[in-house]
Amino acid sequence: MKLRYGMVGGGEGAFIGAVHRTAAAIAGNWDLAAGAFSATRGKARASAAAIGVARGYDSWQEMLAREAMLPAATRIQAVAIVTPNFLHAPVAIAAMEAGFDVICEKPVADTLDAARAIAQAAQRTGRRIAVTYTYTGYPLVKQARVLVAGAGALRRVMVTYTQDWLSRAGDLENNKQAAWRVDPKRAGEGGAIGDIGTHAFNLVEFITGRRIESICAELGSLPGRVLDDDASALLRLEGGARGMLACSQICVGDANDLAISVYCDELGLHWRQQQPNSLRVGRRDAPEEIWTAGAGQAYLASDVRAIQRTPAGHPEGYLEAFANIYRAFGEEVLTGKRADGAPGYATMEDAIACMKFIHAAKQSSEAGTTWTRLDTLCLNTP
């Protein structure tokens, strides 16, 4: 029994739409039944045909309206949103109001207010919503969370996320993926801080199981760019731990280098997304340990073992991490029950923390790099 879903966005040429569809296919419990794959009428239908989806619609409004009228056994049950950020909120809210659960690409919205509106709609309608912070879908990230939970007080966190695809002046013009990501009207107020900084932020909160309380940040960008493409921040976490976060899209030579180190009383651990199947664990006066992912890997937590498809030494990757999010949310929608163990996906609460981070980073930087609390940000952000 699979979950029928309709996709909004993700037509030809889009990167993340195809990723969502493949992830859903790997998950095995989703069935792509409908789609409004583009805001451009002709392109929407053409993409539907190319993708091989029976019910292709001209617009997301049409999709929601028409699907809602289909018989329960046929109509979609959930909507996957892979549009530019500014469309997340209108689509998500309308989808939930039309009775569909929602799985939404990150960041969950272009502004903090929009994110809050989604959260309110979820509460109002009783619908479920997951946000795809991919990297927490990796098995060893979940294992890291388990290890940290049992390792005494948290001391220090260092996370860096660096890319180079915007490292040249002309990259904004030449790259289709860049166009909306660097336009505040479509991306929101965050550039790199929103696009990848929130991944780093969410990864810290996930692994440590603690909220980041305040940040002290500096944002920058290459000449002529409106949004930040490079940012650094000091962090203070619940319970007193300190940390640092950097994200940048102008770091020449780095493809997609997300790396995190977390230190507790009893251990330090290190994970790097580009080699996701290894987790380095350091202890005082003992050999460093390399924990390795794998189905059936006896020393991993049982819920970490359970989500893997291949035994140790048969590497899983980005798409499988993404699939883990789809599978967990799909399972929850289908059964109405959340699985045990580490959360299987980012909730609205997590996603709103990320939105606060974007806003606080900007505010801190504009105020000359001052400590800015995330929990006291006023509701009516510009």
Q: 306 to 325, contacts with a second copy by CB under 8 A? A: 309-320
* Partners of 130 in beta bridges: 103
Query: Closest CB to a second copy among 118 and 197?
Result: 197
Q: Which of 266, 349, 366, 375 binds a second copy (CB under 8 A)?
A: 266
Distance CA 138, CA 160 (A): 17
Position 193 contacts a second copy (CB under 8 A): no
Give every CB contact of residue 141 below 8 A, 6+ residues apart in sequence.
Answer: 135, 203, 206, 207, 271, 276
Distance CA 65, CA 368 (A): 48
Which pair of structure tokens corresponds to residue 289? 């340990």
Q: Which of 99, 209, 220, 341 binds a second copy (CB under 8 A)?
A: 220
Distance CA 42, CA 51 (A): 14
Residue 338 DSSP label: P
Q: Which of 11, 84, 197, 243 binds a second copy (CB under 8 A)?
A: 243
DSSP string, 295-326: BT-TTS-HHHHHT-SSBTTS---HHHHHHHHH
Interface region with a second copy, contact rule CB under 8 A, candidates 35-43, 181-189, 227-235, 353-361: 227-235
Position 163 contacts a second copy (CB under 8 A): yes
Residues 24-43 that bind a second copy (CB under 8 A): 25-26, 28
Nearest distance in Å: CB 32, a second copy:
11
Residues 282-301 that bind a second copy (CB under 8 A): 282-292, 294, 297-299
Distance CA 238, CA 240 (A): 6
Nearest distance in Å: CB 292, a second copy:
6
Q: Which of 189, 205, 228, 230 binds a second copy (CB under 8 A)?
A: 230
Residue 379 DSSP label: S
Which pair of structure tokens corresponds to residue 62? 């049409």
Distance CA 272, CA 133 (A): 16
Query: Closest CB to a second copy among 85 and 167?
Result: 167
Residue 242 DSSP label: E
Residues 51-90 that bind a second copy (CB under 8 A): 52
Interface region with a second copy, contact rule CB under 8 A, candidates 35-43, 86-94, 204-212, 230-238: 230-238
Nearest distance in Å: CB 167, a second copy:
6
